[in-house]
Amino acid sequence: MPEGPEVRRQADRIRKAMEGRRLDRVTFAAVRLQDWQPELSGRRLLSVDPRGKAILFRFEGGLTIYTHGQLMGRWRVFAIGREPSLHRSLRLGLETALHGVHLYSAFDIDVLDDQELVHHPFLTRLGPDVLDDTTTPEDIRQQLRRFARRSLAALLLDQRLAAGIGNYLRSEILFEAGIRPELRPVDLSAQRLDRLAQAILDVPRRSYRTGGITVDNELAALQRREGVPRRRMRHFVFNRSEEPCRRCGTPIERGELSGRRIYVCPGAKFSGERLLRCDG
């Protein structure tokens, strides 16, 4: 499933092509939404707003199309006359005079008025968006205290903690913070909690800026000079089972927690919750 950084970059591409323009055509695959097609066609698209892993299309007149790509959803932005040909089910189409956007293989789509938007069951449960510039480390610390007795392995995937974190970000955040996945916020000192809150913001924002790279800029630059393929240099631990840790050389281990694969450096040695060796 695309995580917050990927969703936001996709929203950026859609925004560049569509925002502020009047839509000539709106199409829904779902029969229950097709009555909205003439209602939305001809309206100006005011904004394209990512919310964690969802994207909201806000139209003049107080209507919003809510979309969540879930696991299989795929977006395509194209110039009119150059429509993509995918062997997937088209679920939503938006077209201006110059550009179009297609959403394939996604079924969580709805049209909401302002009142319904405020009370939407998914949106109302979201925690602070990790990619929103207004979200601060203190916001994240407060959320960690709110869910203080849940293991971090499960908590980091809960969008009520912070919106936009998924599986690869979970492993990378815990590595950067130097914290074992089975620990809970209540187990951490104030200093370690601060470090975790900062990592929860820093890692997704780095991934957004770099197009999916979570290692630090210095290491990324070094690996580029050495000719390491991008797919192999993106992360510190995620998807690197049995490869050497980039900091201490210990082979990375893959496990499963909360029903999802997780990657850790076993070279990280602790005394209680204090990290003694390897920054991850």
Q: How far apart are CA 234 and CA 232, in angstroms?
A: 6
Collapse the DSSP code of 220 into the 3-class scheme (helix H, G, I; strand E, B; otherwise coil) and give the result: helix
Angle among Cα 163, 167, 50 to the nearest 5 degrees reads 30
Residues assigned a catalytic role: 2-3, 53, 260
Q: Which of 71, 60, 87, 64 is nearest to 3 (CA)?
A: 71
Amino acid at 67: T
Q: How far apart are CA 67 and CA 88, in angstroms?
A: 17
Q: Which of 104, 128, 109, 129 is nearest to 120 (CA)?
A: 109
Amino acid at 110: D
Q: The tokens of 252 are what?
A: 């990375």
Q: How far apart are CA 45 and CA 23, in angstroms?
A: 7
